[in-house]
């Protein structure tokens, strides 16, 4: 494969930027959460690319731990969103403004 | 051949990620997200991290996205929300300009030839001896070896983290009305 490390890092950076755009742009909390997962995924891709081109296994282990932590984080975050929906009947971030009133 | 696959899969991943961000329906967004995760898994395969590709498909595209779809359909947030899906126009314009600046920065930083380009060494498939450091291999054996020697403490901490997350989810998602009723009676 003649594709270099910089091409992989370019793709990972663009994925991270798209995820950040989703966090900034959307109102639905679930979509914001999916964009967060996309950003974690971009970091995973960058770590695997660095690990492959560096010739060591450490980046892959980091990605292993990141996937584990992300799974736990998704479970807790979705439970929080469900609890929020039960109390406020909405998951739109512009209606969750109890602190600003 | 592998170069063409890299371009195809990175294009699929980026396009579905943009579609996920921009699609007004959350269920369609989740479906695009699954495709984006599968494209990332294909990029992992191109980087010869086969174990992580399988883990990505199982955990991310399988478990996490099924959980997301379940919660989206459970909450049913699409009804009665109207077309006010994005934030207001000022935030929209600022986010778009910021995104374009970030894209220009990333493209100019990583697409030129001014950064050093490391060479791609061939990997060993089945290592038998681990001397100084752990070399990049395609076998799952080196994962197990690393997890139980160099990364023993993070491995255990991750186990405790999963336990704490499980207990936390049960506590958060429990209904509190039942507890109050039992207190009154």
Q: What is the pTM of this model?
A: 0.87
The H or E element that residue A63 is part of is helix A58-88
Residue B79's pLDDT band, with cuts at 50, 70 and 90, is low
Q: Is residue B36 part of a domain?
A: yes
Tens of pLDDT along B94-125?
888 888 888 888 888 877 777 777 777 777 76
Helices (H), chain B: 2-22, 26-46, 50-55, 65-75, 89-110, 141-148, 152-172, 177-184
B3 and B72 co-located in one domain: yes
Q: DSSP labels for A10-70?
A: HHHHHHHHHHHHHHHHB-BHHHHHHHHHHHHHHHHHHHHHHHHHHTBSHHHHHHHHHHHHH
Handedness of CA B83, B88, B92, B98 (dihedral sign): negative
- Closest Cα of chain A to B76: distance in Å? 10
| CA dist., res. B43 & res. B45, Å (int) | 5
| Distance linking the first and last C-alpha atoms of chain B | 72
| CA dist., res. A44 & res. B53, Å (int) | 11
Q: Is residue B97 part of a domain?
A: no
Q: Distances in Å between the alpha carbon of B138 and those of A59, B58, B153?
A: 13, 18, 24
Residues linked to residue A28 through DSSP beta bridges, in sequence order? A92
Comparing CB atoms, the residue among A5, A54, A68 nearest residue B117 is A5
| Percent of chain B's residues with pLDDT above 90 | 43
CATH number at residue B66: 1.20.120.1200
**Residues A19, A36: contact at Cβ < 8 Å?**
yes
Q: Is residue B51 part of a domain?
A: yes
Q: Is residue B158 part of a domain?
A: yes
Number of domains composing chain B: 2
Residues of chain A found within 8 Å of residue B86, distances taken between Cβ atoms: 25-27
Q: Count CB neighbours of A29 within 10 A.
A: 22
CATH number at residue A76: 1.10.287.3510
Q: Which of residues 131-170 of B touch A (CB under 8 A)?
A: 133-137, 142-143, 146-147, 150-151, 154, 158, 161-162, 165-166, 168-169
Q: What is the DSSP letter of B115?
A: S
Number of domains composing chain A: 1
**Residues B70, A11: contact at Cβ < 8 Å?**
no
Which of A9, A48, A76 is the best residue to mutate to test the B interface, defined by the most B CB atoms within 10 Å of its own CB? A48
Residues linked to residue B135 through DSSP beta bridges, in sequence order? A56
CB contact under 8 A, B135 and A57: yes
Whole domain around residue A95: which residue ranges? Answer: 5-100
Q: Is residue B172 part of a domain?
A: yes
Region B2-7: what's the mean pLDDT? 91
Residue B17's pLDDT band, with cuts at 50, 70 and 90, is very high
Which region holds residue B177: left if phi is over 0, alpha if psi is between -120 and 50, else beta?
alpha
The pLDDT score that the predictor gives to residue B38 is: 96
Whole domain around residue B168: which residue ranges? Answer: 137-185
Residues linked to residue A67 through DSSP beta bridges, in sequence order? none
CB contact under 8 A, B85 and A82: no
Comparing CB atoms, the residue among A2, A45, A94 nearest residue B40 is A45
Q: Which residue has the higher pLDDT, A91 or B17?
A: B17
- Closest Cα of chain A to B185: distance in Å? 24
Residue B48, SS3 per DSSP: coil
Q: Is residue B96 part of a domain?
A: no
Place of tokens 């964009």: A35
Is this complex's ipTM strictly greater than 0.95? no
**Residues A36, A69: contact at Cβ < 8 Å?**
no
């Amino acid at each position: 494969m003649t594709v270099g490390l910089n091409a992989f890092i370019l793709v990972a950076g663009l994925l991270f930027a798209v995820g950040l755009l989703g966090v900034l742009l959307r109102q639905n909390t679930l979509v914001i959460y999916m964009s967060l997962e996309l950003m974690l995924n971009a970091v995973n891709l960058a770590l695997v690319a660095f690990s492959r081109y560096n010739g060591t296994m450490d980046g892959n282990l980091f990605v292993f731990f990141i996937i584990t932590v992300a799974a736990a984080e998704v479970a807790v975050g979705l439970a929080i969103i469900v609890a929020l929906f039960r109390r406020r009947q909405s998951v739109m971030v512009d209606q969750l403004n109890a602190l600003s009133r | 051949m592998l170069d063409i696959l890299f371009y195809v899969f990175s294009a699929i991943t980026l396009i579905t990620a943009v579609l996920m961000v921009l699609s007004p329906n959350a269920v369609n967004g989740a479906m695009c997200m699954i495709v984006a995760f599968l494209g990332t898994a294909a990029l992992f395969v191109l980087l010869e991290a086969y174990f992580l590709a399988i883990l990505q498909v199982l955990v991310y595209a399988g478990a996490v996205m099924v959980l997301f779809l379940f919660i989206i359909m459970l909450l049913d947030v699409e009804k009665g929300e109207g077309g006010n899906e994005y934030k207001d126009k000022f935030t929209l314009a600022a986010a778009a300009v910021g995104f374009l600046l970030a894209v220009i920065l990333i493209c100019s930083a990583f697409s030129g030839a001014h950064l050093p380009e490391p060479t791609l060494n061939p990997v060993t498939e089945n290592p038998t001896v681990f001397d100084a450091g752990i070399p990049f291999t395609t076998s799952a054996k080196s994962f197990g070896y690393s997890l139980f020697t160099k990364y023993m403490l993070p491995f255990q901490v991750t186990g405790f983290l999963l336990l704490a997350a499980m207990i936390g989810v049960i506590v958060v998602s429990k209904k509190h009305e039942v507890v109050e009723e039992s207190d009154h009676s």
